[in-house]
Amino acid sequence: MSGIILCQSKYGASKKYAEWISQETGFKIVETKKADIKDVEKYDTVILGGGVYASAIAGISFLKKNIDALKGKKIAVFCCGAAPYDDEILDILKKKNMKDKLAGIPCFYYQGMWDLEGMKFGDKTICKMYVKMLSRKDPSEVKAWERPFLEAKDKKCDWTDKKYIEPLVKMIKEE
Ligand SMILES: Cc1cc2nc3c(=O)[nH]c(=O)nc-3n(C[C@H](O)[C@H](O)[C@H](O)COP(=O)(O)O)c2cc1C
């Protein structure tokens, strides 16, 4: 079985998950931005992973653009956000990122990292505004998956855990 992992990561969490998946499968990792479909279509399995920024999965446009060329291949997507796993989050992400021809592709969500002070200027501004907006909410209206943003604020957090990749790796190794 041959396979490739495409990954787009700004702050390192998706890259860490890609490396763990690579350790378990032996697949090489290529940065999605630098991926060439002529190379990618040589593999039986394609895994695409990326960070979640304002509910958008980084690099998903590569799949949208090339989905016809990848017909018949085993494809899986993983994405990495700061919020803890929640069915509602996965549902929102799937609706926003995996419409039409991407709709049936398995999508896995992993918790990543949060480091407000280490963020690039524009990202920091957006995230500070988001935390401020959450802190103004009535506490009873703050959803369980929004709470870690309030608790983290400017604390550096790393929620990555290798165990999260198990279902994806199992799926890839099956069949
Ligand atoms: C501009 C920006 C927007 C973000 N939006 C979300 C979001 O919508 N949901 C979420 O769970 N995390 C969000 N995060 C947190 C990132 O998903 C988290 O830091 C993750 O680890 C990013 O992946 P990476 O480390 O591979 O870059 C956001 C972070 C930034 C900088």
pLDDT per residue of the chain (175 residues) written in tens, 0 to 9: 899 999 999 999 999 999 999 999 999 999 999 999 999 999 999 999 999 999 999 999 999 999 999 999 999 999 999 999 999 999 999 999 999 999 999 999 999 999 999 999 999 999 999 999 999 999 999 998 898 888 888 899 999 999 999 999 999 998 6
Is the pTM higher than 0.75? The answer reads yes
Distance of CA 13 from the midpoint of ligand 1 (Å):
9
Supply the residue whose CA is at minimum distance from atom 28 of ligand 1.
53
Residue nearest to atom 30 of ligand 1 (CA): 53
Ligand 1 atom with the shortest distance to the CA of 122? 1
Query: pLDDT tens for residues 29-60?
Result: 999 999 999 999 999 999 999 999 999 999 99
CB of 133 closer than 8 Å to CB of 43: no
Using a 6 Å cutoff on CB, does residue 119 contact ligand 1? Answer: yes
Angle at Cα 6 formed by Cα 3 and Cα 9, nearest 5°?
150
Which of 6, 8, 11 should be mutated for ligand 1, with most atoms under 8 A from CB? 11
Domains and CATH numbers, the chain: 3-114+158-173 (3.40.50.360)
Q: Which residues does residue 50 pair with via DSSP β-bridges, in sequence order?
A: 8, 79
